[in-house]
Amino acid sequence: MARKTTIVQQLINSRSTIKPFKCSNVSKKYSLPLTVGSKKTITSDSHFFTLKPNSRQSMKKLSVLTAAALMLLVSCSKSVSDKQQEEENTVEATTRRCASYEVLQAKLKEDPSLQKRMDEIEAFTARYVAQKSVNGKLEADGITMTIPVYVNVLYSNAAENISDAQIQSQIDVLNEDYAGSNGDVNKTSTYQTVKAGNTNIRFTLAGIIRKSTTITSWGTNDAMKKSSQGGIDPTNPTTSLNMWSCNLGSGLLGYAQFPGGSTATDGVVILYSAFGSRAKVPSGTFTSTYDLGRTATHEVGHWLNLRHIWGDRRCGDDFVGDTPAHDGANYGCPAAGAKSACSGKPLEMNMNYMDYTADACMYMFTAGQETRMRATFAAGGPRASLR
């Protein structure tokens, strides 16, 4: 530190012109002397410097400038490294980001047989939906499914060790959203005719497993689901839903495993600060915008075989007949009446739980989505063991 102070003092004492220098990807600005007398000696381009000695008299000052440049490069590199580490360890989700589709694509590459199972599930679902269609309307089977839920909490600090009350608030939100009894379900009149109403899917808290860890950020490789990698193994994955609450990196809010995957990794992963509802537990630990428990509603939808409403591509297929085509994800709280750029320019259903809007602005499933989810529980379905 003393050496650095000496160099800076020498630079101040010189008659050099100072020009701001900014490290790439770092907000702090650094200054470098770019002239000695009237002759230019250093030019800068991002992290690169070119030294141009102009006279023997300049060499002494040039050596000082060279040392300063090297020290600034080291400082800049360290600042970039520190910043990246800070971002990895402390991530605030700014837009809804679900990695379920990306995780599915990775698993399909790892296990070629998974595609065959997924195709069989789609064929089974199509037959089930056809059987439930009466005069163009979907007929509910009326059987209430109650799903035991195990919540696995991985924490590296007190904030991540969310309370029992915050966990219970998430179960309560799931029950409200899947019963169609959430207080905001009637905000829109546009899609009342296809609104799901009660899906007859219930959730009950079966247990909470907590584990302290030195891992400060988790990714999408399912490590949090494996005790051998510092995580927590799922409990009774064939007859219950496992949820993991942890600190996800890369701005992720969560991801789920679709039906058909390995039971060893089956379940839903949620960012700890998006787990539960601030409205129900104001003292909990929450991120802004995604603090009403709708991330879990969205991810459990994937776990029950729902796709993103835009089909994960421009005007893609979500395999549901009563959802409009979307040209992409919606974010925040879009104005009512927004139209898709897809064929026919239909009104977008941006309040659907399978879009990417803010928690306060998503509040419905459709009857078609309900039937698709119910198909997973039917005899021969991928989650029939939950019956």
Structure tokens belonging to residue 278: 């601030």
Per-residue CA distances from 288 to 3, 234, 273 (Å):
45, 29, 9
Residues 6+ apart with CB under 8 A from 304: 201, 259, 372, 373, 376, 383
Q: What beta strand segments (E) does the chain contain?
A: 17-22, 29-36, 39-40, 42-45, 48-51, 133-134, 137-138, 145-155, 201-212, 241-246, 254-256, 268-271
* Cβ neighbours, 10 Å, residue 250: 14
Instruction: Tell me the chain's radius of gyration from C-alpha atoms.
Output: 27
Does the CA dihedral 165-166-168-172 come out positive or negative?
Answer: positive
Q: Terminal CA-to-CA distance of the chain, rounded, Å?
A: 67
Query: How far apart, in whole angstroms, are the C-alpha atoms of residue 197 and residue 186?
Result: 10
Q: What is the DSSP letter of 136?
A: T
List b or e across 295-323, with b for residues whose CB sees 16 or more CB atoms inside 10 angstroms: bbbbbbbbbbbbbbbbbbeeebebbbbbb
218 three-class SS: strand
Distances 148 to 42, 119, 208, 341, 386 between C-alpha atoms, Å: 67, 27, 11, 41, 9
Q: Rounded to an integer, what distance in angstroms lies between the CA atom of residue 348 and that of residue 364?
A: 13
Active site residue 348: no
Of residues 92, 110, 120, 299, which has the active-site annotation?
299
CB within 8 A of 100, min separation 6: which ones?
255, 256, 257, 258, 299, 302
For residue 84, the SS3 value is helix
Hey, which residues does 365 pair with through a beta bridge?
A: none
Give catalytic residues, as residue numbers. 299
